Amino acid sequence: MKTLKIIEKTKLWFSISLIIILVGFFCMFKNGLNYGIDFKGGTLVQINMKKDFNKQDVEAIINKYTKDYTTNTATNTANEVQLEIRSNSLTDEQVESMSKEMKNKYKLQDKDFSQQRIGPSVGKELRQKAILALVIANLAMLIYVGFRFEFKFALAAILGLVHDIIITVSVYAILQIPVNSSFIAAILTIVGYSINDTIVVFDRIRENSKKMRKANDVELANISITETMTRSINTVLTTLFTIVSVYVFVPSVRDFATPLIVGIVSGAYSSIFISSPLWVMLKNKSAKQVLTTK
């Protein structure tokens, strides 16, 4: 098998990520993140539709009262279809008028509707806990990878995870996709997936370093990436097939599936094109420091 020249093109891989991040930060600075009801506060309306319905017809009714909304559907234990509407801007009067129109069209009763106000303080608390969870998760993995391999591997892996989080947030800022509690759960899942893929590459580098003692760090990384490339591609494709199928056929979990799709692609990319080159850079920096001290 011909060895791929991945490390030699480090500037290209870093530039691709940097462009996405810069565009994302520009959009974030200009428009901000599109925080959903979980973070910004707003109105949650739950409707027991009882049977399947045409989503376009329902959204035509909702559009009369607000443009700022997201919808989810789910089936309960009684095989009744539940519709959930989340909006940052719906007022009580608009909810009442919308409910009246829905009752007339779908022959629903008052008991089929429930309304809940979510305050922005809940969103603030959720944001703080999400950041804390990410910090703890990254620190725990830094310690684990550092103990199992070495600190340079751990640092490169964590920087790759930070890259995946920033890329996912940037895509959300660019496309103005609503950020909600499902997004946080997906980010934590992405972190776990990405570190697993990165460890596979680093484990191969460690194995090859014992067998090829005369090879330099660039050669070691290129050979190890080449040997694990097929596995990485197969893993990410099979995972993506599953997540995309869930996204298409299970609308109720799209808020969770969307960031997973972005994060899994970013995680596979960073494991090969970001974390491995970072490890080489860290090793070269250490080698230069040793030569300087001598």
Q: What is the pLDDT of residues 84-133, one digit of tens each?
A: 888 888 888 888 889 888 888 888 888 888 888 877 665 677 778 878 88
Higher pLDDT, 262 or 287: 262
The mean pLDDT value for 160-182 works out to 90
| pLDDT tens, residue by residue, 14-42 | 999 999 999 999 999 998 888 877 777 78
Lowest mean pLDDT among 156-160, 178-182, 207-211: 178-182
Average pLDDT score over the chain: 85
Predicted local distance difference test score (pLDDT) of residue 1 = 63
Residue 175 lies in a domain: yes
Q: What percent of the chain has pLDDT over 70?
A: 94
| pTM more than 0.85 | no
Predicted local distance difference test score (pLDDT) of residue 13 = 94
Contact 208, 224 (CB under 8 A): yes
Print the domain residue range for 268: 7-35+121-293
Q: How far is CA 13 from the centre of its chain?
A: 20
Predicted local distance difference test score (pLDDT) of residue 294 = 47
Residue 167 lies in a domain: yes
Q: Output the DSSP codes for the chain.
A: -PPP--GGGHHHHHHHHHHHHHHHHHHHHHH---B-HHHH-EEEEEEE--S---HHHHHHHHTTT-SSEEEEEEE-TTS-EEEEEEESS--HHHHHHHHHHHHHHHT--GGGEEEEEE-HHHHHHHHHHHHHHHHHHHHHHHHHHHHHS-HHHHHHHHHHHHHHHHHHHHHHHHHTPPB-HHHHHHHHHHHHHHHHHHHHHHHHHHHHHHH-TTS-HHHHHHHHHHHHHHHHHHHHHHHHHHHHHHHHH-GGGHHHHHHHHHHHHHHHHHHHHTHHHHHHHHHHHHHHHHHHH-
User: Same structural domain for residues 147 and 202?
Assistant: yes
User: Same structural domain for residues 251 and 235?
Assistant: yes
Residue 131 lies in a domain: yes
User: Same structural domain for residues 61 and 112?
Assistant: yes
Count structural domains, the chain: 2
Looking at the predicted structure, is the pLDDT value of residue 291 above 50? no
d(CA 46, CA 116): 8
User: Same structural domain for residues 148 and 221?
Assistant: yes
Higher pLDDT, 225 or 150: 225
**From residue 248, how far is each of 16, 57, 147, 254, 264 by CA, in Å?**
28, 19, 41, 8, 17
**Residues 6 or more apart from 32 whose CB is under 8 A from it?**
173
User: Same structural domain for residues 63 and 163?
Assistant: no
Lowest mean pLDDT among 53-62, 73-82, 144-153: 73-82
User: Same structural domain for residues 181 and 279?
Assistant: yes
User: Same structural domain for residues 78 and 146?
Assistant: no
The mean pLDDT value for 251-271 works out to 88
User: Same structural domain for residues 168 and 183?
Assistant: yes
